Amino acid sequence: MSRHQSSFSAKILTASDLLDGDVIYLNAAQTWTRQLSDAHLFVDAEAANAALATADLQQQTVLGAYLVDAATGTNGAPTPIHFREIFRATGPSNRFHGKQADLPA
Amino acid sequence: MYTYSDFDRAFLRNRVAKFRDQVSRRLSGALSEDEFKPLRLMNGLYLMLHAYMLRIAIPYGTLSSVQMRQLAMIADRWDKGYGHFTTRQNIQFNWPKLRDVPDILDALAKVDMHAIQSSGACIRNVTADHFAGAAADEVDDPRPTAELIRQWSTDHEEFAFLPRKFKVAVTGSEQDRAVTKMHDVGLKLVRDANGAPGYEVSVGGGLGRTPMIGRVLREFLPREDLLPYLESILQVYNLLGRRDNKYKARIKITVHEMGLEQLQALVEERLPHQRARFGGAEQKHLSALEQAFTAPAYVTRSSDDFQTALASNGAFRAFVDSNTAAHKNPDYAIVTVSLKSHGATPGDATSDQMRALADLAQSYSHDELRVSHEQNILLPHVHKSYLPTLYVALRNIGLATANIGQISDIIACPGMDYCDLATARSIPVAQQIATRFQALNLEQDIGPLKIKISGCINACGHHHVGHIGILGLQKAGIESYQITLGGDGTQHAAIGKPVGPGFSADQVLPAIERLIYTYLDLRQDPEEDFLAAIRRLGLTPFKAALYGPKEAANAA
Ligand code: SF4
């Protein structure tokens, strides 16, 4: 039934921005966004790996791209599984800095 | 204090200009990230979880008020208005932008500061007792030695690519406040039977994945052999330290694998040649450095106001009891300013606080400040008559917390709130513990207690030497905190023992509470502090408190 490979869990592609080190995500239009809610959820291993390979070539914009496990959250937007990625998408817990402060709620 | 020579300044200017060029080539695409990364790391610039991080060296933790003000300026102009003081006596800025970093480095160079030797497999920024030059129990001032080592190690070409980083700490007192036993090389200034100055040299200490306590390589090294001896150690390590496995590359493993005697023999073999090579020129230089670190021009004043305030003001008395230490001049005190007000991030200071501290240092501490590895700021030379005024001034900027050496004076590394390598957060755990015990109003009763928290096995938060150590890991997709007990970072160095399975983020505070209540129940009297109680009782009653009596019996 499913066209997804059974062993593949959905992923988003993330990296850091070269200029200010901020966390970025690849969106559906294949450009980079600061907002997790705009990230594209890959449900297919081939497409995810191809996007990662492309990102690795974009050294003038992005640093250290990697794929992370994610799922569609209750709000319909992709949500990473691992707490580290949730912190990256939010900002530090001791100060209201980073994404939680910079992005519209 | 030591001020830079023209040579130092020219060297720094040159380094900043080079890095400016490297950044612009990176931005233009002429340098790839693979090429650029080692260059930025050599200048203290890391990429962390949310942003770049700039780690600035504060050699042996010593700052002037001018330097502190410049750090405040940098925090405001290029960062988010605060800085984080670390267990390496450094300061980190958490939000710099790549294109601003050359300007930041220029601003630092203007006040004789830099970010080199704060990363990479080189001899790192040398650390020292934060009471240096002030402590009542000091044999000799460690700062001239530390400065000599700084100059020798900066840009030492042969040791730019060691198997792994190499950390040196220096103390001049029997009471080890610089954790020297947990450094690659720890130096203690001592005198021989005839009163001649020299060093006890320890080697192979370290925290991290494989914690080890340094062992004495030479009980008494005559002062004039210092650099020849260090050069010999580094040469042997550079040659024989392992490069095949980064977890086995520190000199502690070299010592462990080859044995202390073998290392001793190899170092002694090289020593005569190195002695001849240095030829004693560095000793003349050391004598000159000693002149730069003479005692401040002490003032003579009446201490009556101090005595009156002490007798009449309980809060002031509590501050004096916990935050001051004996100075070598009996009319003076060493003041530790706590960066651990309950609920604050350990080691963080705002730019306003930095400026205020700079002003206070200028008015009351002969223009000197220190950063301690315990993430506090010190005013090392305060005449006791100034203490009441100083206390009020500190209170006005939220920096008069009287908790030094107590349960809320916690070391915590940045952990997963900032650090790219972290496996869990550290800061919120520290905040919870501090706030909770303040609410319980138990802090005074508990007495001396060192809690140290690391967000991963790298142990920047020194958890191995915490009386209570907390190590943040991840387990089954959540943060999990492993507790160790009985660690000690002083001259009686001990590595804490793990008590059992980890606790989830919401269970770690209740676990610490159970430990504390067990201690309060079982101590012989209030004079027996937590560490002493652990040493007397062993871990069993504490394990029972954490896990119930059955597991404790099994584990005992
Ligand atoms: S101990 Fe780990 S998490 Fe903490 S600062 Fe060091 S590397 Fe980062």
| B179: CB partners within 8 A, 6+ apart | B169, B373, B462, B465, B489, B490, B493
Ligand 1 atom closest to residue B422's alpha carbon, by position in its atom list: 3
Using pLDDT thresholds of 50, 70 and 90, give the confidence band for residue A2. very low
pLDDT value at position B552? Answer: 53
Question: Once rounded to an integer, what is the mean pLDDT over residues A29-56?
Answer: 96
CB B124 within 8 A of CB B88: yes
Question: Once rounded to an integer, what is the mean pLDDT over residues B177-195?
Answer: 97
pLDDT value at position A87? Answer: 96
Which ipTM was obtained for this model?
Answer: 0.93
Are B52 and A20 within 8 A, CB to CB?
A: yes
Question: Once rounded to an integer, what is the mean pLDDT over residues B372-391?
Answer: 97
Query: Which residue in B190, B177, B252, B254 sits closest to B490, CA to CA?
Result: B177
Residue A30 is part of which domain span? 11-75+84-92
Instruction: Give CA separation, A30 vs A14, A88, B36, B164, B443, in Å.
Output: 12, 20, 26, 40, 55
For the cut 50, the answer to whether the pLDDT of residue B273 exceeds it is yes
Nearest 5 degrees, angle CA B19-CA B89-CA B245?
Answer: 70
Partner residue opposite A92 with nearest CB, options B32, B418, B479: B418
Q: What distance in Å separates the CA atoms of residue B89 and residue B77, rounded to the nearest whole number?
A: 23
pLDDT digits (tens, 9 = 90+) for B298-357: 999 999 999 999 999 999 999 999 999 999 999 999 999 999 999 999 999 999 999 999
pLDDT digits (tens, 9 = 90+) for B126-169: 999 999 999 999 999 999 999 999 999 988 889 989 999 999 99
Ligand 1 atom closest to residue B472's alpha carbon, by position in its atom list: 3
Question: For domain B6-109, which architecture applies?
Answer: Alpha-Beta Complex (3.90)
Out of 3.90.480.20, 3.40.50.300, 3.30.1600.10, 3.40.1260.10, select the CATH number for domain B304-396: 3.90.480.20
Are B417 and A92 within 8 A, CB to CB?
A: yes
Burial of B382 (0-12, 13-18, 19+ CB in 10 A): buried
3-class secondary structure, A71: strand
| Number of independent structural domains in chain A | 1
Q: How far apart are the first and last CA of chain B?
A: 52
Ligand 1 atom closest to residue B455's alpha carbon, by position in its atom list: 3
CB B147 within 8 A of CB B86: no
For the cut 90, the answer to whether the pLDDT of residue B549 exceeds it is no
In a domain, A2, yes or no: no
Using pLDDT thresholds of 50, 70 and 90, give the confidence band for residue A6. low
Question: Once rounded to an integer, what is the mean pLDDT over residues B257-265?
Answer: 95
pLDDT value at position B280? Answer: 87
Using pLDDT thresholds of 50, 70 and 90, give the confidence band for residue B556. very low
| B419: CB partners within 8 A, 6+ apart | B48, B49, B413, B455, B456
pLDDT value at position B319? Answer: 97
Instruction: Give CA separation, B262 vs B231, B302, B493, in Å.
Output: 17, 58, 24
Where exactly are the structural domains of chain B? Answer: 6-109, 127-292, 304-396, 411-555
Residue written as token pair 């203290």: B44
Are A21 and B52 within 8 A, CB to CB?
A: yes
For the cut 60, the answer to whether the pLDDT of residue B31 exceeds it is yes
Burial of B8 (0-12, 13-18, 19+ CB in 10 A): middle
Query: Which residue in B123, B132, B195, B200 sits closest to B162, CA to CA?
Result: B123
For the cut 80, the answer to whether the pLDDT of residue B551 exceeds it is no
Q: What distance in Å separates the CA atoms of residue B548 and residue B556, rounded to the nearest whole number?
A: 12
3-class secondary structure, B534: helix
Size of chain B, expressed as the number of residues it contains: 556
CB B143 within 8 A of CB B62: yes
pLDDT value at position A59? Answer: 87
Using pLDDT thresholds of 50, 70 and 90, give the confidence band for residue B527. very high
How far away, in angstroms, is B286 Cα from ligand 1 center?
Answer: 35
Query: Who wins on pLDDT, A6 or B182?
Result: B182
Q: What distance in Å separates the CA atoms of residue B359 and residue B66, rounded to the nearest whole number?
A: 9
What is the token pair recorded at B500? Answer: 């059992």
Rg over alpha carbons for chain B, rounded to the nearest Å, is 23
Question: Once rounded to an integer, what is the mean pLDDT over residues B10-23?
Answer: 95
Ligand 1 atom closest to residue B419's alpha carbon, by position in its atom list: 8
Protein residues whose CB sits closer than 6 Å to any atom of ligand 1: B 413-415, 419, 421-422, 454-456, 458-461
Are B127-292 and B304-396 in the same CATH fold?
no
Question: Once rounded to an integer, what is the mean pLDDT over residues B417-437?
Answer: 98
In a domain, A37, yes or no: yes
CB interface of A with B, residues 56-95, below 8 Å: 59-60, 63-64, 81-84, 87-88, 91-95
Half-sphere exposure (Cβ direction) of B4: Cα atoms closer than 13 Å: 19
Burial of B156 (0-12, 13-18, 19+ CB in 10 A): middle
Q: What distance in Å separates the CA atoms of residue B218 and residue B201, rounded to the nearest whole number?
A: 5
3-class secondary structure, B443: helix
Partner residue opposite A94 with nearest CB, options B50, B428, B474: B428
In a domain, A4, yes or no: no
Residue written as token pair 């309060």: B520
Query: Which residue in B302, B320, B301 sits closest to B310, CA to CA?
Result: B320
Size of chain A, expressed as the number of residues it contains: 105
How does B436-447 read in b/e, with b if 16+ C-beta sit within 10 Å?
bbbeeebbeebb
Query: Which residue in B169, B189, B172 sits closest to B135, CA to CA?
Result: B172
In a domain, A41, yes or no: yes
pLDDT value at position A3? Answer: 53
How far away, in angstroms, is B39 Cα from ligand 1 center?
Answer: 22
For the cut 60, the answer to whether the pLDDT of residue A4 exceeds it is no
Using pLDDT thresholds of 50, 70 and 90, give the confidence band for residue B120. confident
Tell me the chain A residues in contact with residue B94 when contact means C-beta distances shorter than 8 Å: 92, 97
For B225, other C-beta atoms within 10 Å of its C-beta total: 20
pLDDT value at position B447? Answer: 96
H helices of B279-386, in order, are: 281-292, 304-312, 314-323, 351-364
What is the token pair recorded at B147? Answer: 């400065």
Please give the residue of chain A at the shortest CA–CA distance from B45: A21
Burial of B487 (0-12, 13-18, 19+ CB in 10 A): buried
pLDDT digits (tens, 9 = 90+) for B187-229: 999 999 999 999 999 999 999 999 999 999 999 999 999 999 9
Are B427 and A92 within 8 A, CB to CB?
A: yes
For B214, other C-beta atoms within 10 Å of its C-beta total: 24
In a domain, A100, yes or no: no
Using pLDDT thresholds of 50, 70 and 90, give the confidence band for residue B553. low
pLDDT digits (tens, 9 = 90+) for B220-234: 999 999 999 999 999
pLDDT digits (tens, 9 = 90+) for B88-111: 999 999 999 999 999 999 999 999
**Mean pLDDT for all residues in chain B:** 95
Out of 3.40.50.300, 3.40.50.10490, 3.40.630.30, 3.30.413.10, select the CATH number for domain B127-292: 3.30.413.10
Beta bridge partners of B436: none
Residue to mutate among A36, A56, A90, A94, with most B CBs inside 10 A, is A94
Question: Once rounded to an integer, what is the mean pLDDT over residues B69-85?
Answer: 98
pLDDT value at position B155? Answer: 82
For the cut 90, the answer to whether the pLDDT of residue B264 exceeds it is yes
Work out the minimum CA distance from A100 to partner chain B, whole angstroms.
11
Mutate to test the pocket of ligand 1, among B118, B454, B465, B474 (most ligand atoms within 8 A of CB): B454
CATH superfamily assigned to domain B411-555:
Sulfite Reductase Hemoprotein, domain 1 (3.30.413.10)
For the cut 60, the answer to whether the pLDDT of residue A43 exceeds it is yes
Beta strands in A2-105 (DSSP E): 11-17, 23-26, 32-33, 62-72, 78-80
In a domain, A5, yes or no: no
